[in-house]
Amino acid sequence: MPYQPATPLLSLLRKLAALPAAGADESSPETPPAAPENPTTVGPAGIALIKRFEGCARLRVDGMIEAYPDPGTGAAPWTIGWGATGKDHVHGGRIGPATAWTQAQCDARLADDLSRYAADVVAAVGDAPTTPAQFDALVAFHYNTGAIGRATLTRKHREGDREGAAREFARWNRAGGKVLKGLVRRRAAAPPRRSSILASANNPG
């Protein structure tokens, strides 16, 4: 077939196909997706970890849950429910050997404490990239120690030293100056944090 010049309509269609989409700016690169925000609340895995090691022990025959002494000192600070210490939000005063709560009161205290400790962790880590697994582990650590604001592991996390932060967990294994097997197991029970730290070194956020 001999060559035939393009018709005006065909030429116009080709020109239209070559144009950028409406609203597109060829001189501007695509906007990269926004980095995911750091978590601010503890997730189900973190809550399960806390419940696993705190338990909700000392259930009496009348259905009430009573306080028990600190395993390191054999006395204060007295603990009740899911690891609650300090102020008795039910009866007033301090938690002590005579304190007893219902299961619902123990659960309510846990929810309040988790919200408070999560806010402490948010303030402590600042804008350092933190995965949900890391955040859960940090809240669980703070729930048990109250030390998120002064712990070396927090500083290492903020500096991006994920492996160094993971190693610091094992150092928190003492109560009353003694190494406790329960704390050794507890510090070793956060594999999600260890694995996620190593992964986030190459994929932060």
Provide the annotated active-site residues. Answer: 54
**Which DSSP helix (H) or strand (E) runs through 107?**
helix 103-125
List, in sequence order, every residue forming a beta bridge with 84; answer none if it has no partner: 80
Q: Torsion over CA of 17, 18, 23 and 29, rounded to 10 degrees?
A: 140
CA-based Rg of the chain, rounded to a whole angstrom?
27
- Give the pair of three-digit tokens for residue 17: 């196909």
Left if phi > 0, otherwise alpha if psi is -120 to 50, otherwise beta: which for 130? beta
Query: Residues 100, 64: contact at Cβ < 8 Å?
Result: yes
**Residue 31: CA atoms inside 13 Å, Cβ hemisphere, count?**
5
Those residues whose C-beta lies under 8 Å from the C-beta of residue 205, and which sit 6 or more positions away, are 35, 36, 129, 131
**Burial grade of 75 (CB within 10 A; 0-12, 13-18, 19 or more):** exposed
What backbone phi and psi angles, to 5 degrees, belong to 62?
-85, 5
